[in-house]
């Protein structure tokens, strides 16, 4: 059969070449079945038994796992034991007289449907996770056990699937799985995060691929270009081998930088930290020389189940990250919900303009009891590690005052409950609104550090929706207006002796990162797989040159001109 090329999206860098192992879809239709009234208690017990069985199976897998694999399985355990799911299933059995299988699938549909309808990729991924667990529970209900759950492994192969459930991905390793390609999925899906952590090249969104592949076919997964080649011809194979060799050589060279400082040729040093969403990403970050976590996006935790996590669940997640970072800073950002990230199981007002509405710290402060759960968990973690607390979407100093007051109230409560002396961790804010930029002098009196969220700052300064595909031509963090804002924030912070980080995507772009260095930013925080590339760029210039470049960029007329400037200097930001 002839060679077939399918475009997709590269989500984990590298090139894999080898035999295909297609994964069959696990979905099976559930025949509608109703039960008699007297069978309700038995049917409910049958469901509860399946939950216990599945949970025990997952716990056993967690025991034998570490890192990301363990974290993902913990997330899945929380889904299986979600009290909201249980409540819905038991209610369907009782009120609708559904058998346990139907009640389960209807409940999963309800919760996952709500998640899938939300605009944010992270929620859609949570819906996939939930379907995945629903299927596992279903198999358990039908068979009474879940034997044979593990991915068939054998020797190395490239796994191709419509979709790889994260719990299956969590059981993979780089020795038996050389590459991953799926027809669906996103860059922020657990499976993609896991592939990056394991260094497995991966492509998602390769639609139509499954129709053309057979077990054992030779396949190329190009995680650099975002392409899957089925049954490559001689030339395609040779090209893939060449770029694979080149990529590995580059990686080897870059890896040598892991232990070196991000220092310019004239001795100016910048700290490089990692952005994480799961505690299990810490190992990968440390391996790439991350000096700490500059942004722990806690939203992931809030999306595990149909309900926000309690204090214990949060404490477990934060301490897991703190332990892994071994005394390096761990910056926990309080939940940044609202706008395009509503919280499952948490009722929020319907707003005409949610991006300008109750989001980030505004939402947290609107519900102090809810907010305090997170603050208590962070305070308890701070007794064990080098924790920093960061508030998103701040637009006035009173918000910081209110956060500080609540934090101190929590510390007092914990002390009264017998935790012993509770230290208040450093409190910083994200600079994401023009209001925060232009009142940075005032904010710097109280906030102990700043972290500029260029993703949101760009959207609010340019009045361009960051998620609107029609607006991408205008959405550009190199716009001089954004650069001026950053410059102002750095000066205001430094005047008060505060450090400034950037944790938006701009920091992960090696060329734009040089502008940030030139503007005087002290720390850059980014996805771990960008750290070494950014470090290489920083080590290749003098601070003097970066500063001159930044000054030229500030004086440029437009984002296009800034891009041209980076190009002329042999630097292109895209
Ligand atoms: C940002 O806005 O730059 C940021 C880091 O936060 P998020 O992308 O999570 O909104
Ligand atoms: Mg943001």
DSSP codes of every residue in 277-328: SSGGGHHHHHHTT--SEEEEETHHHHTSSSS---HHHHHHHHHHHHHHHTTS
Confidence (pLDDT) at 135: 79
| Number of the ligand closest to the Cα of 504 | 1
- Catalytic one of 140, 282, 478, 503: 503
| CA 505 to ligand 1: nearest atom | 3
- Mean pLDDT computed over 214-233: 94
134 — pLDDT class (breaks 50, 70, 90) = confident
Query: Ligand 1 center to residue 275 CA distance, Å?
Result: 10
CA distance linking residue 181 with residue 10, whole number of Å: 9
Give 136 or 235, the one with higher predicted confidence.
235
Contact 539, 466 (CB under 8 A): no
Whether 291 is in the pocket of ligand 1, judged by its Cβ within 6 Å, is no
CA angle (172, 178, 182) in 5-degree steps: 75
β-pair type (262-263, 330-333): unpaired
Cβ pair 501, 452 in contact under 8 A: yes
Active site residue 479: no
> pLDDT per residue over 367-409, tens digit each?
999 999 999 999 999 998 899 999 999 999 999 999 999 999 9
Q: Which ligand is nearest to the CA of 451?
A: 1
Quote the DSSP letter at residue 152: P
Say if CB 215 and CB 21 are below 8 A apart. Answer: yes
List pLDDT tens digits, range 412-458.
999 999 988 899 999 999 999 999 999 999 999 999 999 999 999 99
Identify the pLDDT of residue 25.
Answer: 46
pTM for this predicted structure: 0.76
Residue bearing tokens 């925080």: 525
> Would you list the DSSP string of 366-396?
H-HHHHHHHHHHHHHHHTTS-EEEEESS--S
When pLDDT is cut at 50, 70 and 90, the band that residue 223 belongs to is: very high
Ligand 1 site, residue 453, Cβ cutoff 6 A: yes
Going 466 to 471 to 475 to 479, the CA torsion angle's sign is negative
pLDDT of residue 187: 65
Predicted confidence (pLDDT) at residue 40 exceeds the cutoff of 70: yes
Residue 514 has pLDDT above 90, yes or no: yes
Percent residues over pLDDT 90 in the chain: 59
pLDDT at residue 191 is higher than 90: no
Gap between the Cα atoms of 172 and 191, Å rounded: 10
Q: What residue's CA is closest to ligand 1, atom 8?
A: 455
Q: Which of 119, 332, 456 to mutate to test the pocket of ligand 1 (most atoms within 8 A of CB)?
A: 456
* Per-residue model confidence (pLDDT) at position 316: 92
End-to-end CA distance of the chain: 37
Buried b (16+ CB within 10 A) or exposed e, 464-474: bebeeeeeeee
Q: Is 297 in the pocket of ligand 1 (CB under 6 A)?
A: yes
- Whether ligand 1 lies within 6 angstroms of the CB of 452 is answered as no
Mean pLDDT confidence for 101-115: 86
Query: Please, how many CA atoms are within 13 Å of residue 440, restricted to the half-sphere of its CB?
Result: 28
Residue 170's pLDDT is 65
pLDDT in tens, 553-565: 999 999 999 999 9
Q: Which ligand is nearest to the CA of 276?
A: 1
441 half-sphere exposure, CB direction, 13 A CA radius? 3
pLDDT exceeds 90 at position 529:
no
Ligand 1 midpoint to CA 515 (Å): 19
How many CB atoms sit inside 10 A of residue 143's CB?
A: 11
Q: Report the residue among 275, 297, 333 best suited for mutation to probe ligand 1: largest number of ligand atoms under 8 A from its CB.
A: 297
Q: In sequence order, what are the residues at sequence separation of 6 or more whose Cβ sits closer than 8 angstroms to the Cβ of residue 501?
A: 271, 273, 294, 449, 450, 451, 452, 521, 522, 523, 524, 525
Could you tell me the pLDDT band of residue 29, with boundaries at 50, 70 and 90? very low
Would the CB of 277 count as within 6 Å of ligand 1?
A: no
Please tell me if the CB atom of residue 454 comes closer than 6 angstroms to any atom of ligand 1.
yes
* Whole-angstrom distance, CA of residue 510 vs CA of residue 7: 26
Highest mean pLDDT among 86-90, 514-518, 569-573: 514-518
Edge-to-edge strands of the sheet including 202-204? 4-7, 227-230, 218-222, 15-22, 157-161, 177-182, 202-204, 9-12
Query: Can you tell me the mean pLDDT for 496-524?
Result: 96
**289 within 8 A of 259, measured Cβ to Cβ:** yes
């Amino acid at each position: 059969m002839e060679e077939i090329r399918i475009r997709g999206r590269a989500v984990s860098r590298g090139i894999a070449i080898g035999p295909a192992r297609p994964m069959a879809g696990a979905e099976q239709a559930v025949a509608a079945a109703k039960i008699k009234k007297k069978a309700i208690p038995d049917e409910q017990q049958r469901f509860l038994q399946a939950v216990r069985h599945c949970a025990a199976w997952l716990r056993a897998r967690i025991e034998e796992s570490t890192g990301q694999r363990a974290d993902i399985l913990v997330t899945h355990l929380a889904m299986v034991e979600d009290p909201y799911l249980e409540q819905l299933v038991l209610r369907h059995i009782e009120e609708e007289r559904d058998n346990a299988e139907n009640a389960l699938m209807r409940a999963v549909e309800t919760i996952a449907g709500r998640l899938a309808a939300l605009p944010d990729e992270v929620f859609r991924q949570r819906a996939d996770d939930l379907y995945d667990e629903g299927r596992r529970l279903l198999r358990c209900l039908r068979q009474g056990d879940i034997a044979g759950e593990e991915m068939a492994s054998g020797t190395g192969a490239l796994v191709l699937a419509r979709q790889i459930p994260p719990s299956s991905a969590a059981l993979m390793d780089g020795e038996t799985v050389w590459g991953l390609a799926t027809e669906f999925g996103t860059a922020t899906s657990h499976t993609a995060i896991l592939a990056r952590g394991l260094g497995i090249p991966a492509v998602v969104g390769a639609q139509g691929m499954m129709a053309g592949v057979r077990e054992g076919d030779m396949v190329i997964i190009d995680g650099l270009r975002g392409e899957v080649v089925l049954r490559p011809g001689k030339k395609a194979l040779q090209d893939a081998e060449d770029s694979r060799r080149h990529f590995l050589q580059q990686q080897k060279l870059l890896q040598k930088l892991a232990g070196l400082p991000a220092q310019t040729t004239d001795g100016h040093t910048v700290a490089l930290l990692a952005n994480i969403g799961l505690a299990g990403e810490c190992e990968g970050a440390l391996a790439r020389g991350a000096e700490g976590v500059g942004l722990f996006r806690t939203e992931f935790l809030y999306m595990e189940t149909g309900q926000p996590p309690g204090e214990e669940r949060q404490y477990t997640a934060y301490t897991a990250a703190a332990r892994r970072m071994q005394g390096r800073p761990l910056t926990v950002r309080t939940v940044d919900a609202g706008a395009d990230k509503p919280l499952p199981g948490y009722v929020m007002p319907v707003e005409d303009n949610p991006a300008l509405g109750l989001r980030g710290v505004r939402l947290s402060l609107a519900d102090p009891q809810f907010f305090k759960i997170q603050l208590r968990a962070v305070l308890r973690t701070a007794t064990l590690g080098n924790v920093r607390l960061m508030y998103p979407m701040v637009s006035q100093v009173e918000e910081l005052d209110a956060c500080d007051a609540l934090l101190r109230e929590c510390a007092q409560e914990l002390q009264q409950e017998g935790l012993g002396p509770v230290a208040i961790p450093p409190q910083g804010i994200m600079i994401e609104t023009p209001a925060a930029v232009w009142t940075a002098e005032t904010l710097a009196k109280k906030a102990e550090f700043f972290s500029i969220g260029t993703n949101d700052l760009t959207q609010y300064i340019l009045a361009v929706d960051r998620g609107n595909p029609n607006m991408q031509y205008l959405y550009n963090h190199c716009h001089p207006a954004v650069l001026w804002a950053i410059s102002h924030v750095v000066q205001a912070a430094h005047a008060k002796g505060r450090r400034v980080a950037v944790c938006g995507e701009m920091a992960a772009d090696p060329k734009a990162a040089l502008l940030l260095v030139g503007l005087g930013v002290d720390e850059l925080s980014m996805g771990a797989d960008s750290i070494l590339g950014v470090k290489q760029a920083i080590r290749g210039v003098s601070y003097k040159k970066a500063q001159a470049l930044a000054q030229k960029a500030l004086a440029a007329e437009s984002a296009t001109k800034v891009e041209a400037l980076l190009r002329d200097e042999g630097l292109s930001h895209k």
